[in-house]
Amino acid sequence: MWTVAACLMPPLVLSVFIFGIQTLVITAACVISCVVVEAITQKCLKRQVTIYDGSAVITGLLIAYIIPPSAPLWLPPLGAIMGIYIGKHLLGGIGYNIFNPALLARAFLMATFPVAMTAAWMPPLSTMEIFSFYGETVDAVSAATPLYLLSHGGMAALIEEFGSPSSFYGRFFLGWRPGCIGETSTFLIMAGGLFLMYKKYITWHTPVAMLGTIALLTWIFGGDEKLFAGDPILAVLAGGAMLGAFFMATDYVTTPMGAKAKLVFGFGVGALTVLIRLKGGYPEGVAYAILLMNPMTPALEVWFRPQRFAPPLGSDQ
């Protein structure tokens, strides 16, 4: 758990640099809220207090990473209550919860406080300073996220704000764009995910299946100019697909453990993400796609259970 938390630190450092110190304050509020809620919940339920195992810390980090960088500070405690108290402990307890706690917290916050969750986007502050240094105006940088622009204005609006694809691919890959606190940098998220693969804490099956499905289905069905113009690279870089693939769809508790089950799970998350993005009214679909696939985990474990090589007990073979 602490290794996963360490792998999530570089995106936080980048968010502080490009959005400002308030992202560190929001992240600290999320982590502290989750740890406190977990301790109080376990005390009230007369269970062993396990706040030192790092699971509540990771939940707090992930809640912070999937909310806007200017979100009000009263959101983290509410998200912690939904994610830790309800999503984790009341719906099964540690190791048995059905839904990813951080994503459940985000879904709750989006449903109950949509204005606070969608009106807190801000442009990269360092970009503003660079533009000002060269005599440009601050208005040259938009606070609209790439997926919002695609949803409301299509590829033309995205190109107007960020330049040609050859230009914004690099910016989106490095993380120089508006977005949630910890989802903007594909490079840093991928680096952390690959390190977890190297340590064998996660495997490649779910991330590859999920990202590959998003790219393929966007290329096939997203050809409308108002959508992604069939750009599979943009579909992976523009939203929270990378963070979801490496740090949420690989959760030990709410996702399958078998290799084949992981591939099917990743395919399902990718397909639902594209469906929500292209046909739904919400520009991002990763969080809801993972939440919709979480209850399928027990069935996938049964359907793709490894075959027995030893004869059943009591048989004559």
pLDDT tens digits for range 177-193: 888 898 889 999 999 99
The reply to whether 167 and 295 lie within a common domain is: yes
Collapse the DSSP code of 217 into the 3-class scheme (helix H, G, I; strand E, B; otherwise coil) and give the result: helix
The answer to whether 224 and 218 are in contact (CB under 8 A) is: no
> DSSP character for 66?
T
Residue 127 lies in a domain: no
Average pLDDT for residues 274-303, to the nearest whole number? 90
Give phi and psi for 25, each to the nearest 5: -65, -45
Which residues 6+ apart lie within 8 Å of 217 measured at CB? 270, 271, 274
What pLDDT sits at residue 132?
Answer: 45
The reply to whether 194 and 278 lie within a common domain is: yes
Report d(CA 60, CA 67) in Å as an integer.
Answer: 11
Comparing CA positions, the residue from 250, 239, 244 lying closest to residue 278 is: 239
What pLDDT sits at residue 108?
Answer: 95
The reply to whether 163 and 81 lie within a common domain is: no
Residue 132 lies in a domain: no
Report d(CA 313, CA 22) in Å as an integer.
Answer: 61
What pLDDT sits at residue 142?
Answer: 42
Residue 150 lies in a domain: no
Report which of residues 306 and 316 the model is more confident about: 306
Average pLDDT for residues 45-74, to the nearest whole number? 91
Collapse the DSSP code of 157 into the 3-class scheme (helix H, G, I; strand E, B; otherwise coil) and give the result: helix
Domain boundary residue, one of 118, 142, 171: 118
Report which of residues 50 and 163 the model is more confident about: 50
pLDDT tens digits for range 223-251: 765 566 678 888 898 889 999 999 999 99
Q: Which domain holds residue 83?
A: 2-118
State the total domains in the chain: 2
The pTM of the full predicted model, rounded to 2 decimals, is 0.87
